[in-house]
Amino acid sequence: MRYQIYALHNYRQIPQIDKLSEEDKFNIEVVGSVLPFKTNNYVVDELIDWDNYKEDPIFILNFPQKNMLDEADFNHMAKLIKSNADKATIKEEANIIREKLNPHPAGQLEYNVPELNGVKLTGVQHKYNETMLFFPAQGQTCHAYCTFCFRWPQFTNMDEMKFAMKEIESVIAYLKEHTEITDVLITGGDPMVMKGKIIDHYLTSLIEANIPHLRNIRIGSKTLGFWPYRYLTDEDAEVVLNAFKKVTDAGLSLAFMAHFNHYRELETETVQNAIKKIRATGAQIRTQSPLLNNINAKPEIWSKMWQKQVQLGLIPYYMFIARDTGAQKYFGVTLADAWEIFQKAYTRVSGICRTVRGPSMSCTPGKVRIIGITEVKGEKSFVLEFIQGRNSNWVARPFFAKYSAKALWMDDLKPAFNQEEFFFEEELSDMFLG
C-alpha cells in the first residue's frame, strides 16, 4: 500500500471529505493552524467511520475539533483565516496560543537530560534508574498526529528539535558508564517512521556493543494504529522485521510498546497481520494509551480493548492520565472519573488482562498511580503510589491526597489529613535546587 499523507494543505482531497459539513471543514482549518494535523490513507480508508464522523473516535484522534481551542482563541484564529491574513501573521498568532497550552509539561526539557564527560546528551533522557530513553533524530515525526499529543511542539516547528540525537555512539558510551540501566526505550515522535536501514543500524549497534547489563530494548510506536503497512508492504518492511529478529536472536528481549487508543484500531485485517509479523520475530508487544475524554472515556471501551489485545497476543501495560498540555480541556478526565473507569474496566476482564497498570500520571516526581478512593475516619481521599520515582525508594509506598472531584492532575492535589506536604516533596525540591 502506498502511504499518502493528508494535512492542512491537501486534506480536501480525502475521498470521503464531502461527508463533512462546510462548517466542520472550516473548524479543521482554524484549529489545525494551531494544533498539529496530519493523517493518512490507512486511517482515512480503513479506520474512520465517515457516516458517523462527528462521534467517531479515530476521526477525533486525527482531525482537529472546534472545542480543542478556547472559544476566544478559536474566534481570533477564525477571524484571521476568514480575512485571508498572511501566513506569517497566522503562524505568529498560532504560536501565542500554543505558548498558553503548556507545551513542555513535567520539566521534560530541563530536568532529565544527562551528561557524558561534561557534555549534555540532548536526545537522551535518564529519569528512572533502570531505563534510558533515546530519541533518534530521524524519528521525530509520526505517520499521523494525535490531536492530544504532548510532543506537539516538536511537530509544529515551535522550537528546534531539542529531543533529538543523531549518533548512537554517545548513547552506547553513556550506557557503558551506567551499569544500573537495563532497558533502552527508543522513542520519538515515532521511531518506526525511520528508514529500515537506520533502524537496523541503531539496533545492530546496540547488540554489537555487547553491554552486559543491557537486557531489554523497547520501541515505543503508534505504527500498528496508524500505519501497519510498515510491517507488510513498505519496501523495507523485511529489513525492519529482520532487525527485530537480530535483537531477540542475540538474547535480548525486544518489547514493542504499542500505542492503541481504541479497540477499533485492533479490528482491521491489516493490523492483525502486522501484529503476527512482529510477534514472529520473537518481539513481545505491550500496549499503552492515555485515557481521553471524547475518545475512550468509558469502561466498556477499555475492557473490550484489553480483551482484544490479549486475544491477539499483546500484553496490556499502561493506562495514562492525559497530560496537562495542549487540548487538555477537551481530552481531560478528572482523577476521580479516571479511577472509576479503570476500576470498572479492570473488574470486567479476567486476570490475564490485569497486567495493565494505571491510571497513572507522568509528572515531575515520577509516575503516580491512583490506587483508589477511600475514606479514613470520615475524610475522603485518593490513595496513590509511585510506579516509578525519581528516587526509586519512593516506589510502592501508598500515600494519601485530599479528595477533589475536580482535580485533573497531580498539581491539583493537596496532601490529606492536614499534612503540610507529600512525603517526597522536600527531597524533590532538594534534587532541583541541588
Give the interface with ligand SF4 as residue ranges (CB under 6 A): 142, 145-146, 149, 151, 188-190, 222, 259
Contact residues for ligand PLP (CB under 6 A)? 125, 127-128, 131, 133, 185, 362, 367, 388
Cβ atoms of 327 and 148 within 8 Å: the answer is yes
Distance CA 81, CA 226 (A): 30
What's the min distance (Å) between Cβ of 69 and ligand SF4? Answer: 18
Choosing among ligand PLP, ligand SF4, none, which partner's interface includes residue 304 (Cβ < 5 to 8 Å by kind)?
Answer: none
Angle in degrees, 0-180, between the axes of helices 335-347 and 299-311, rounded to the nearest 10:
50
Establish whether the linkage from the previous residue to 415 is cis, with ω within 30° of 0: no
Choosing among ligand SF4, ligand PLP, none, which partner's interface includes residue 94 (Cβ < 5 to 8 Å by kind)?
Answer: none
CB-nearer residue toward ligand SF4: 32 or 389: 32
Choosing among ligand PLP, ligand SF4, none, which partner's interface includes residue 260 (Cβ < 5 to 8 Å by kind)?
Answer: none
What's the min distance (Å) between Cβ of 226 and ligand SF4? Answer: 7
255: helix, strand or coil = strand
CB-nearer residue toward ligand SF4: 142 or 219: 142
154: which DSSP letter?
H
236: helix, strand or coil = coil
CB-nearer residue toward ligand SF4: 165 or 252: 165
Q: What residue ranges in 235-283 does DSSP mark as E strands?
A: 253-259
Distance CA 169, CA 116 (A): 11
What's the min distance (Å) between Cβ of 189 and ligand SF4? Answer: 5
What's the min distance (Å) between Cβ of 283 and ligand PLP? Answer: 16
| Amino acid letter, residue 383 | V
What's the min distance (Å) between Cβ of 316 and ligand PLP? Answer: 13
289 pairs with which residues across the strands?
319
CB-nearer residue toward ligand SF4: 151 or 246: 151
Set of cell numbers at residue 202: 541503531
What's the min distance (Å) between Cβ of 411 and ligand PLP? Answer: 17
Of 123, 128, 184, the residue nearest 154 (C-alpha): 123
CB-nearer residue toward ligand SF4: 230 or 259: 259
